[in-house]
Amino acid sequence: MSRSILGIFVLLLPLLEIAGFVVVGSRIGALATVGLVVASAILGAALLRVQGMGALRRAQIQAQAGGAPDREIVHGAMIVLAGLLLIVPGFITDIIGLLLFLPPVRDLAWNALRSRIVVMGSGFSARGGQARRETKVIDLDERDYREVEGSGSSPWKRPDSE
């Protein structure tokens, strides 16, 4: 049901945007309408740059702390979508884009989508905000193992196995 509503919205969006241009243009004039569209595109590009870099930093900090940056990655994706919606000409997409720049709106969207999103990365996997380690890392020094010529199926032997 929700996919069909989304599909209908996507098909009707250009018609709604044209209607929005007509209504706004008749109220404030054509030149002011074009000015608003250009200003929203510039604002979208600027917010995308500033907010997007902030989201990347927050995801990096979360990952370095050992947690899964699933929320930050999804928020970053929503910020990118918000910036693109502001860059696309139209007032309805601008309103949706501006709403997605607000953290409480992104949190609402994240809570609605959390159970459907799986974020995977190097050494962790998170589903719905629950992180778990998946890989075991073994760190070896050079002196722990060395290559031995003609040693059969594996070229690596323990130094004390000779």
* Residue-level pLDDT at 111: 86
- Whole-prediction pTM value? 0.65
Is residue 105 a contact partner of residue 99, using CB atoms and an 8 Å limit? yes
- Domain ranges across the chain: 2-134
pLDDT value at residue 126: 52
Query: What is the model's pLDDT at position 96?
Result: 93
- List per-residue pLDDT tens for the chain, 162 residues long: 577 888 898 899 999 999 999 999 999 999 999 999 999 999 999 988 888 788 878 888 887 887 777 778 888 888 889 999 999 999 999 999 999 989 899 889 888 877 777 666 555 555 554 555 556 667 777 777 666 666 555 555 565 655
Residue 40 CB contacts under 8 Å (≥ 6 apart), including other chains? 86, 87, 94, 97
pLDDT of 149 reads 65
49, 50, 52, 57 alpha-carbon torsion, rounded to 10°? 130
